[in-house]
Each structure stands twice: as structure tokens, then as C-alpha cells.
Amino acid sequence: MNSSFGTLFTVTTFGESHGKALGAVIDGVPAGIAIQEDFIQKELDRRKPGQSSVSTARKEADRCEILSGVFEGISTGTPIAILLRNSDQHSSDYSNIADIFRPGHADYTFHKKYGIRDYRGGGRSSGRETAARVAAGAVAKLFLKEQGITIRACTCQIGKIKAAPPYNWEEVEKNIVRTADASAAEDMILAVKNAAANKDSIGGAVYGEILNVPPGLGEAVFDKLDALLAHAFMSIGGIKAVEIGDGFAVAEKNGSENNDQMDAEGFKSNHAGGILGGMSNGNTITFRLAVKPTPSIAALQKSINISGEEVDVEIHGRHDPCLVPRIVPVVEAMAAIVIADLLLRNRAARK
Amino acid sequence: MNSSFGTLFTVTTFGESHGKALGAVIDGVPAGIAIQEDFIQKELDRRKPGQSSVSTARKEADRCEILSGVFEGISTGTPIAILLRNSDQHSSDYSNIADIFRPGHADYTFHKKYGIRDYRGGGRSSGRETAARVAAGAVAKLFLKEQGITIRACTCQIGKIKAAPPYNWEEVEKNIVRTADASAAEDMILAVKNAAANKDSIGGAVYGEILNVPPGLGEAVFDKLDALLAHAFMSIGGIKAVEIGDGFAVAEKNGSENNDQMDAEGFKSNHAGGILGGMSNGNTITFRLAVKPTPSIAALQKSINISGEEVDVEIHGRHDPCLVPRIVPVVEAMAAIVIADLLLRNRAARK
Amino acid sequence: MNSSFGTLFTVTTFGESHGKALGAVIDGVPAGIAIQEDFIQKELDRRKPGQSSVSTARKEADRCEILSGVFEGISTGTPIAILLRNSDQHSSDYSNIADIFRPGHADYTFHKKYGIRDYRGGGRSSGRETAARVAAGAVAKLFLKEQGITIRACTCQIGKIKAAPPYNWEEVEKNIVRTADASAAEDMILAVKNAAANKDSIGGAVYGEILNVPPGLGEAVFDKLDALLAHAFMSIGGIKAVEIGDGFAVAEKNGSENNDQMDAEGFKSNHAGGILGGMSNGNTITFRLAVKPTPSIAALQKSINISGEEVDVEIHGRHDPCLVPRIVPVVEAMAAIVIADLLLRNRAARK
Amino acid sequence: MNSSFGTLFTVTTFGESHGKALGAVIDGVPAGIAIQEDFIQKELDRRKPGQSSVSTARKEADRCEILSGVFEGISTGTPIAILLRNSDQHSSDYSNIADIFRPGHADYTFHKKYGIRDYRGGGRSSGRETAARVAAGAVAKLFLKEQGITIRACTCQIGKIKAAPPYNWEEVEKNIVRTADASAAEDMILAVKNAAANKDSIGGAVYGEILNVPPGLGEAVFDKLDALLAHAFMSIGGIKAVEIGDGFAVAEKNGSENNDQMDAEGFKSNHAGGILGGMSNGNTITFRLAVKPTPSIAALQKSINISGEEVDVEIHGRHDPCLVPRIVPVVEAMAAIVIADLLLRNRAARK
């Protein structure tokens, strides 16, 4: 299923950037969970456009409406549908690119796949689809919170500016680039604004943690916990790389350095990022993701149109010059969905 | 499903390291494909233990037997089951670690999940399970070959030694570390042997390419081509990171550098690694994977046993000091399974 | 997935009887199909309450709103979401049964499963959920129509009154019980009205046909065409039995009577109901379904409440005294979804 | 997936009638269950050919070999693979029908679907595939037994001879037609022998019960318990109709007769067959299935060959003149798989 994710805790999203609405149907939410609509809204607000000076000027209220699955504030076990009406659409901004394949965008591939394409704002391939994921992820977080599990992510790099550990998680929502290193925030903001001033955009990276996961989550072979996280993260547009634990650094290491030895207190280190043999080991799960620079830039670029003719493209919509700050809540949402699903699946592990 | 992968072209594996047999059931293989058993065997031989001086001394014939789904050499559309009997098992090697959690292994997490564990050779968590994937991947490759699609992977790094592009793919099977840079092979081999001599192991990285993929493969939202590749690769034990195209390098780049512009000839660069919006764009698909150092090492390590008591561990089985050379065919197999599945799913994209 | 059906053409429904809205997300609709909103509405009108004197007095406009997946009247290959707002709800009708398990209803089982229950109008277990199926089925029918495939169903029995073949399909929408035998319509209507007058309800049966299905649809083992139809039909509340072709009559037959022999023109009979070995054989697919009498009746019944105490129940909401006439379009919808899905899956049968 | 069934407790079968072997991979078996190989064998023996004078003369030892997933007699949570080698094959019996479509068989539809067909003994469409289901069902039964759940089925009709309730379940394995009415057994046997003597075959029906199922099993909408049972049963070759509880009899009933009222002791009747709103209600689950007469008959029949030419067919292999006695254990196996799967899925119903 193209638009669904998860085995027992299953999220289906629908909607295009400039269609009538986006939405998510979350099936398999266990009965009995307190579903706070204001929490879902708060998560959506963290992702919504127009929230800061490094974000797009586009405004979407992204008001969520719960249509089903909740009775007197409690999940009933039936699917929770959440609707987000689209509002601030400048579809006419896109009429001039209706026949053009924007570099770095899905225009060309959607055209090749489907032979038809809702070009307004990227249609289904727009980052706007991730609003539905955030709504679904908020429901997952409400379930996980009752299990004591927490998820947090932050911007750890924008361009060449890197956040320096140890991370101060209190800082993340206090700066507009969502970094956990307050001292790096200024430079990151500057890097984004410089890119925009140059009619350009800039990439970065997200670091995240999942805390308090009980050991044993994840299936033994294909649906390993790290495999599902990688799937979930890489399905977010713009993510080009995924590391678990020490990630690429393991390539240069010896086993004696990389193995996490144990004593009576537990693991003595966490190079593995909390995952062994595809299952949580009780340690904090850690990951890092690369985010590409926004493909929509105002600078002149070469491309072709649907007739194959060469064209010059300048993209003058309203776009984030850097995807990273607003992708942070999306990453958290996908992590929450994976963990919620594996928690439920794990209940079938023993007789 | 824990032990199955794919939507239409679906692979199910079974078997433990020291059980009676491993196997794969490949369902959804289209009818009419020539299934050469000797090609499957050849792929298995590339993965089998004991193939070189940098590999484990363990010997497994890994003779494949096709049990079903092929009639007069042609796939019938029904499931192809392939059986691999286990032979060279020194299960007694493991009796001393039956109650111990080996560092870097899945022992602890399997025990926590299932409460019972086939400790012999790692049981289901053993890398031996990947033999079944290679057999299934060989069937996928036979399908893809008829479509003109080729997959190739190589060792691009062992420890600090990196292969230098441009890669010479003719070299890969000529050196025992499977690198595409003949000039680096010596040093890589030395690095592996040094690690072993030090009772240690060493990590590395795999680079791969998928050639001649038609544009449009991959689903729009959750089952993006890169998401499925990441899932597939990360489900291989020992893989800790996945990059598509320029991968983590995008974090430092501007959009104007990273976007692949087009002219009438096609894309003018391939930073995206052949994937845009989660779908193939017709360019070569490129990826890079980090492989952790083998967790089984002879050096003394600290751990605990199932009673929580601290113990010293020295692992004296027969293990590869470096997983990379033998993981190369496994990576290719998983890539082939993903592409075969998406090729079939793509037939439903248009009316 | 509890609320989803189908492998490639996948329908997910959400919503409760007295919640804010019902809806369907139809994923995997091939791109390029003309989606007429008025056709979907027409199908919904065939199912909607309050349409005739044998139907409930409840009124639901059941206006459909397409939220996504359609651009300029054509399917884009992305999920089509259809929303149906609830309107005419007398939730207070149900407050007196909030703690009572109505006989023949899902009240008891939902309570046992989830420990919480939206009792208003049956919540998720209400027949109202099938409105979403009809909307999804209408989309499936639009796809099938372009392939030349037609689905039709009718009331073939109410109580002891049976429609006599040959059926006149022109008659079905001309009488309020939707029977294809005009001469039986009067008696059927009378049977329904008598039941209602007696504070009771009455059962019946549906007969259906799928015409012009190409041979070979259906998968070889578990997802046989007849198995999927049985699954689809039996998932409609109130259906208690499914026959394909001659159905139970085969129990008394010899092979020489039951086998459909062939000549150069094709099959000489159709006892099999168009399905052999779980696959369509090119003949008309035929089926018959038993529909139980509406469980909601005004007559006094014995039951218990959630504390286990015995109570007397009289159900005074607004209910159809016979489910059959309004279930006919639901049956057609489920058949359409099955065929659409198998048509797409069948594209993967050969290389 | 064509050859897999189940969401958490998942069965995949492979193999053709005259191929090297049949098998089942059962994934998602919870860890900790005692797996008695002799029980699996006993179940297979109930299904195996050549077991009585009303069965085919073909002999298959159907010795099962457990290849994986069991360690020291206990399930480990990893997939249990069971292998059944084929032995007594008279493939040459079939060479004369290689190009002919046998009436009532899947020959025509497989040919239309795949364009290639393993004609020996029906290949994948052979009833022989159900041996793998019985092995998998035996594993499910071992799980259910530990939960106190029992499944039993019997022949309730052959031709016009019907078993009269109340059923004596002790009798079932004492007569070769597997009926629970000892007084009807003679006549049933005679009916089968008469059919065979006339170069013909005969149909019948199976009745079954599932006892001690806790309330709440089954999912609310598409994966209702009755829907999954219908799917499972109808996927068995030769089954043409499925009834739950009173089945078709509900068509003639009033709600006041059909509703199962409750008192403090529980349900006062069981017309619903133990299922309300698609979920178990704690009552015995009851069902009845129609089985078509064996299509392979020695009498002369008309058909066509793959060139479309008319041919006369007489089928002289070794076939059961009545499928019912040997289909009984297959029906039980499918019921066990459905219940095992829903038991596990139900663990996710509440937080």
C-alpha cells in the first residue's frame, strides 16, 4: 500500500498540497488512550509553515479536526481520522510551471509514472503531506507517553555549522532553527538567511533519540527496528541518509571499540544506538539523518518541459530556504509511529 | 510479517544457523522467466563461508535445491522454494556461551524478546540467514536481467582504507575483499589480517549501483524507492547506515549545487543518486552502506549471563574478521528484490 | 489492518454512525480514470436511509465530497479520499441503551473487545459504515466500466418470498425492494411491512453477477477470487452465508452433473459460477448471500446490561425492518473492489 | 501475497502435486509453545491419500520434517518451516492430458493466467497443496490447545445422505467418511462407492465448531471473524459455499426468532453461530461448508485442448470419488490458523 505505513498501528495519509484537504487515518490505535486534540494541534504548529523568519511566508492554519475513533476524549479502538483543510493556496503561482520539470523535484518522476500530475504546489509529492504524518505521529506519541517512552529530535547541522554535544534539549523549541546547541543557533540562522539572500537554499542534518524503549522491540529478520526506522525516515522527502548509533563511523572501527560491553549495571557504552540484532536493547535509540537543501530556489536553473524542450526555470513561490527546522517534528512523528507499531507487534512474541 | 519482504514479489526466509536447513520461498515471481539453478548457486558461492583467506574457516557447501515453482526450467507463477541444508556445524563450540550475552550480538535482545533462544551459532540472528536472501535475490536478478536491469556492489572501504573512484567493476570478483579499486585491495586485505591477528575485527563500507532502471519506479509516499532500499539494506545484520546518492554530503550543500539540472540529453549530474521524490528518474541509482566490525572477537570482553552475573567472554568460533566482502552479494540481493517488487507494483500505476 | 481491504486497490474506511463524519480513502486507483462525482453520489443515494416506505425514516443526505486524488476530473494515481458528513443524528435515542447489550447487535462483543464503546447508533459497528464502502465501490466501478466489466445485484428473497428466474435486471431499481422479479415485488413489500407492523423484522437474500471478467483473475492459493469475494461479502454486517455458483446444491450432485464441460464455443454450463481453481474462467460470476433480519426490533427482548443484570429491551430508534434492499448496493461495491484489486494484481502474473 | 495467509500468525505454503516437495512456513508462532512433531504427523495422516477404501489408491507417506523454528521441542518465535517430500507420483498418468483442459479443474484458468502450467497432477492447483495447510494448522492447534480452544469438524452430508444431530463427535474418526452420525455412515459410504462404480463422483458438506473462544476475537470492519473464516474456507479447492450459524436459514426468519437473547447465564440460543458484529461472543462458533463433487471422473466428458480443438476426456488417475472425508482436517486447519491469528491480533485491542 503506497499511502499506508505500519502493520498493527497503521497510518494512511491522503491529500495534495493545493487540494481541498489533507488527512490521516490511524487504524489500530488501542482503545483507552486519552486523545488530547490540543496536543495534536501543538505538534502541527511545530511543523506549520510561516512560523518564523527562516520559514516560508506561506500561512496554513493547519487546524486539525478529529472525525472519528474518539469518544468522550478516549480512543475506542476504531480508526481515528484527522482532517486538515487547505487554505492559503496560491495555485496560480504554479501555472507557469505546469509543463516544466523543476530540478530536484518529483515533477519529472511523477509525470513518468502516472502520465498525469497535479502540478499545483507539488501535489502529492509536496512536503505538505507530512502534516498528516505529524497528526498521526501525535496520536502515536500519546500512546507512547502512557508507556513512558519519549522521542526527541533536533537540528544538529545546517550547512557547515554543526551543533556541539552534549545537547541541551531544553533549547530546541527556543530557537527558530530547532537546534539543541544554543551557541550554534545564531550561525545556523545566518547560514539560512544567507542562502535565501543568494536565491539559494541550504541542507543540514537532524539528530534524534528515543528514550525508555523496553528491550526486545523489533522483529528478527526483515522488520528489524533499525530497518523500519530507516524506511520511515527515508520516506520523508528530502532525507538522503540515515545513521543508527555510530553510523558511518563504524566503518573505521575495530570490533573491540565498537562492541558495547556489559556489566551488572547494563551496557557500558552505546555505539549501537540502542539496537542489537534489529531489536531495542533498552539503551537510548539514537539516529542521524541528512536533509538535502530545498530544491525550490529562485536562482536560474536549466531544465526541460514535458515536450522535452530546454527551458530556464526560476522558482518564485514561497519556500523554506532550509527544510531542517520544520522537518524535525516530522522525524519525531515517524519515529513514534514505528515504535507504537512495534510495541503492539511485540505483544505477540510470546505465548 | 517478520520473515517476509515485498508486496508482490515477496520473499520469506526461514532457518537458523545450526538448524537443519535454511530456505527461501519466493512468491509472486512472474511466470515465464528462465530460472537457471547454476546462476543461483553461483550467487550463493559468492556469499558462502570459507571462500578465501579473509573469510571464516567454516565450510558450508550451501548447495541450493529448488523445490517448487519451476517447470521445465521456467517459472510457473507459483512460489519458488529454495532449500539449503546446513552441514558444517560445530554446535558444541557454542555450548559455553549458551547462557552468556555476547557483546555486539543479538543474544541479549532475543532473550529479552522471546524468553528462549537457539544459541547455537546465533540461531536466527546469524548472518547465515542471508544465504536465503541471496538465493531469493538471484531469482530477482534473473527477472531483472530480462528487463535489462543490472545491480552491482563492491567494498569501498575497510577500516581507514578507501577505494578510489572511478571504480573498475571488472576487478571486484578478482580480489578477495571485493573492492573495485585493485590498487586498494592489498591494503584492505592487510587491514583485515591485522585485525584478526590482534584478536579483533574491522568495519567497512559497501558502494552499489543499480543500472538501467526505468523512470517512475517507487511509490509516492511511504514506499518510496529510497525508503524501501533503506529498509532492505538496514535489515541486513551489521549495516548501520545508508546513503542514497550524495548522502550525508548534502547537509553541507546549497540547492544550486545539489539539484540535478536537465537538458535535452537528460540529467546533467546525479547528486540525487537516481531517485527524485522517491521514484527512479532513469539515472543510475547509487548508494553507500556502513558495515560494522564483526562483533565476534577473540579478545577478552566484559558481559553478563542470563542470571545477570558479570562474566568474561572470549569468542573462539570461526568468524570472518571483516563482514564486508561477503556482505556484498547480500546487498545486491536485497536491491534486486526491491527493484523486482517495484517493477511489478508499477504495472498498476496507470489504468 | 482492520479497516482496510485490498492489496493494490486498497480501501480504508473510517467513521461511526453518530460521529462527525464517515469516509473512505481509496489508495492504488490507477491514474487516468475519469472520476464522476455525480456517479459516486448516485450510488450513495441507492444506499442512503429514508429512500422508501420500506426503509428507515432516518434521513441522511450522504453528500459526498472528494478531498484528494482527482485533478481536473481524472484520477492522478494518489489516494482518493471521500468524506460524508453525518447530519440527522438522534444520539439521545440511544442514551437509554448506553449500558445495555442489544440482542443480535455488536454491543456485547465490542464491549468485551475494547472495554469502551461509542454506543450512539452502534458506533463503528453500524451499517452506516457501509456508506463509505459504497463510495469506494463507485470508484472501483468507474475503473471497471472502462474495462468493460459490469456488476449487478438484486434482492432474490425476502422471508419466504423468492424471486423467480430469469431475472429482469431492468426492474431492480423500479421497485423499492430491489428485486429483479417484478411479480414478486408486491409480496416482498408486504412481507416487510407485516414484519414492521409486528414490531419485528425479516431476513432475505441477495443474488449477484459480475459480467465480462477476463479469465485468470484470482490468485492460486489463499487469495482465490471466490475466497476474496466471500471475505468481502461476509465482512458486511448481517451477511451470514455466501454461495458461489450452485453453492450448497453441489452437495447433492455428481461430478458428471456439476462439471462445466467445454466445446469450441466455451463452457456449456455455469455451475461453477464463473470460477475454477479460484480464478475467473470468463463466464459470468454468480453468487448468493443470506441476509439476517435486522436485529433492532421494537418487540420486547431479554438481555443484560454491562453490570450483568438482566434487563428488558425494546428498541425504538428508526430502523429498516429488512436490510436487503439497501444492502444490494453495498454488495455490488464490495464485489467491485475485489475485482478491481485482482485486475491490478493480475498484471504481475507474467513476466 | 498469493501463497500466504494471516497477519501475525502467517502461513506461507509452497509446492506442487508432482514437484519435489510441499511445505509450509509458519511465521509469527509465539515463543514458548511445545511443538510435538508426532501431533503434526497425526494430523497429516488424517488428510493423507490412500487411508481408506473411499479414498484414492494413491499413497503418500507425507512424512513431515521440521526444518526450523523449534529448539529443544519449544517454539522460538522464529519461522517454523515444515517439509513434505513427494513420493508416489505417477506423472506419466498426466502426459496425455498435458494439453487438455479437464472439466471442473483449474487447467483452463491457470493456462489463461500464467501461459504456462505444470500439468502433472494439477500442479499447484492440486488438493495436495492442502497437506501443507494441515501441517501449519497443526502448529496453530498446538498454540490454541494451550489456550483451551478446540476445533472439530465432520462430514455432515454426502449426496442426499445427511447426518442427523445431535452429533456424536467420538464417532468421527471411527468411520471412514468422518461423519458424526454413526447411523448415517453406512449410507454415506455406499453413496461414495456407487458414484465411483458409475465412473462418477459425489459432493457433500462439512460441519464444524470452534469451542471455548473468548469473546472479542475478530476485527471490527473488514477482518471480521466470520469474514476471515469465509476467506479461509473458500480458499480450499472444492468449497463452494460457507454458512455461519444458521446461515441461509436466516433469510426466512424474523428478528424475534433470530436474535440470541441473553440472561444472566449468557446467550439463550446460538443462531448467530458464536459471532456478533464480526467478533466472537463466547458461544461455540458454528459453520457449514458445501464441497463439490470431485471433478476428476472416469466418465466421458467434452472439453477442448490448448489449441481450442474439441476433445473427449476420460480421467483415469487415482482420485477420491468424494472429497469430503479428507477435506475435514483441512477445514479444521484453516479454522485454527484464523483463530490463532486473531488471538494474537486481539492483544493489540487495548492500551
Q: What is the pLDDT along chain C (351 residues), one digit of tens a residue?
A: 799 999 999 999 999 999 999 999 999 999 999 999 999 999 999 999 989 988 887 788 899 999 999 999 999 999 999 999 998 667 676 778 889 999 999 999 999 999 998 998 899 999 999 999 999 999 999 999 999 999 999 999 999 999 999 999 999 999 999 999 999 999 999 999 999 999 999 999 999 999 999 999 999 999 999 999 999 999 999 999 999 999 999 999 999 999 999 999 999 999 999 999 999 999 999 999 999 999 999 999 999 999 999 999 999 877 899 999 999 999 999 999 999 999 999 999 999
For chain A, domain boundaries: 4-346
Residue B127 DSSP SS3 = helix
Chain A residues whose beta carbon lies within 8 Å of the beta carbon of residue D349: 30-31, 77
Q: What's the pLDDT band for D344 if we cut at 50, 70, 90?
A: very high
What DSSP letter does each residue of A180-247 carry, written as one string?
Answer: S-HHHHHHHHHHHHHHHHTT--B-EEEEEEEESPPTT-S-SSTT-HHHHHHHHHHTSTTEEEEEETTG
Residue with cell 445431535: D166
DSSP B93: G
For chain C, where are the E strands, in sequence order? 4-5, 10-14, 21-27, 64-66, 70-71, 74-75, 80-85, 150-158, 161-162, 204-211, 239-244, 262-263, 266-267, 275-276, 279-280, 285-291, 301-304, 310-313
- D52-75 pLDDT per residue, tens: 988 887 788 899 999 999 999 999
Segment A112-131 mean pLDDT: 94
C344–B33 C-beta distance less than 8 A: no
Q: Which one has a higher pLDDT value, C103 or B319? A: C103
How high is the pLDDT of residue C88?
67
Q: What's the pLDDT band for D31 if we cut at 50, 70, 90?
A: very high
Residue C306 grid cell? 454491562
Task: Give the integer Cα–Cα distance in Å for B188 and B177.
Answer: 7
Task: Give the integer Cα–Cα distance in Å for A31 and A29.
Answer: 6
**Cα–Cα nearest to A162, from A180, A138, A137:** A180
Task: Give the integer Cα–Cα distance in Å for D10 and B90.
Answer: 32
**Cα–Cα nearest to A70, from C116, D136, C251:** C116
Q: Is the pLDDT at D281 greater than 90, yes or no?
A: yes
Picking from A22, A234, A296, A310 by the largest number of B CB atoms within 10 A of its own CB, the best residue to mutate is: A234
CB pairs under 8 A between C and D: 371
How high is the pLDDT of residue A274?
98
**Cα–Cα nearest to D136, from D35, D269, D238:** D35
Q: Is the pLDDT at A89 greater than 80, yes or no?
A: no
Please state whether the predicted TM-score (pTM) of the whole model is above 0.95.
yes
φ/ψ of residue A342, rounded to 5: -70, -30
In this predicted structure, which of A320-324, B118-122, C223-227 has the lowest mean pLDDT?
A: B118-122
B87 lies within 8 A of chain D by CB: no
Residue C142 DSSP SS3 = helix
Say if residue D164 is exposed, middle or buried (CB neighbours under 10 Å; 0-12, 13-18, 19+): exposed
Contact partners, residue C222, CB within 8 Å, separation at least 6? D1, D2, D3, D4, D5, D231, D235
- A253-295 pLDDT per residue, tens: 999 999 999 999 999 999 999 999 999 999 999 999 999 999 9
ipTM entry = 0.98
Q: Is the pLDDT at B43 greater than 70, yes or no?
A: yes
**What is the Cα C191 distance to its own chain's centre?**
22
Beta bridge partner(s), residue D42: none
- Whether A180 contacts A172, CB under 8 Å: yes
C8–B345 C-beta distance less than 8 A: yes
- Find the length of chain B: 351
Say if residue B177 is exposed, middle or buried (CB neighbours under 10 Å; 0-12, 13-18, 19+): buried
How high is the pLDDT of residue A88?
67
Task: Give the integer Cα–Cα distance in Å for D53 and D42.
Answer: 19
Closest CA of chain A from C347, distance in Å: 16
Q: Which residues of B307-345 are buried (b: 16+ CB within 10 A; e: fewer)?
A: eeeebebebebbbbbbbbbbbbbbbbbbbbbbbbbbbbb
B183 lies within 8 A of chain A by CB: no
- Whether C135 contacts C39, CB under 8 Å: no
How high is the pLDDT of residue C37?
97
A220–D30 C-beta distance less than 8 A: no
Quick one: closest CA in D to B25, which residue? D14
Alpha helices in chain D, H assignment, sequence order: 37-47, 107-114, 130-146, 182-197, 225-234, 255-258, 324-346
Q: Is the pLDDT at D317 greater than 90, yes or no?
A: no
Quick one: closest CA in D to A145, which residue? D351
Separation in Å, CA B328 to CA B48, B288, B335, C182, C191: 11, 11, 11, 71, 72
Contact partners, residue D263, CB within 8 Å, separation at least 6? C302, C304, C310
Cis peptide before A166 (omega within 30 of 0): yes
Q: Which of A255, A256, A290 sits opposite B251 (nearest CB)?
A: A290
- D207-261 pLDDT per residue, tens: 999 999 999 999 999 999 999 999 999 999 999 999 999 999 999 999 999 999 9
* H or E stretch covering A141: helix A130-146
How high is the pLDDT of residue B97?
82
Task: Give the integer Cα–Cα distance in Å for C148 and B317.
Answer: 64
| Angle, helices C130-146/C324-346, rounded to nearest 10 degrees | 50
* CATH among 3.60.150.10, 3.30.300.30, 1.10.600.10, 3.40.190.10 for D4-346: 3.60.150.10
Alpha helices in chain B, H assignment, sequence order: 37-47, 107-114, 130-146, 182-197, 225-234, 255-258, 324-346
Cis peptide before D166 (omega within 30 of 0): yes
C74 lies within 8 A of chain B by CB: no
Q: What's the pLDDT band for B88 if we cut at 50, 70, 90?
A: low
Quick one: closest CA in B to A249, which residue? B290
How high is the pLDDT of residue B211?
98
Contact partners, residue C88, CB within 8 Å, separation at least 6? C58, C59, C60
Residue C350 DSSP SS3 = strand
Q: Is the pLDDT at D88 greater than 70, yes or no?
A: no
A2–C28 C-beta distance less than 8 A: yes
Task: Give the integer Cα–Cα distance in Å for A346 and A279.
Answer: 11
C216 lies within 8 A of chain B by CB: no
Q: Is the pLDDT at A161 greater than 70, yes or no?
A: yes
Strands B239-244, B10-14: parallel, antiparallel or unpaired by DSSP? unpaired
Task: Give the integer Cα–Cα distance in Å for D40 and D63.
Answer: 10
Residue with cell 444472566: D264
CB atoms within 10 A of CB D152: 17
What DSSP letter does each residue of B138-152 carry, written as one string?
Answer: HHHHHHHHHTT-EEE
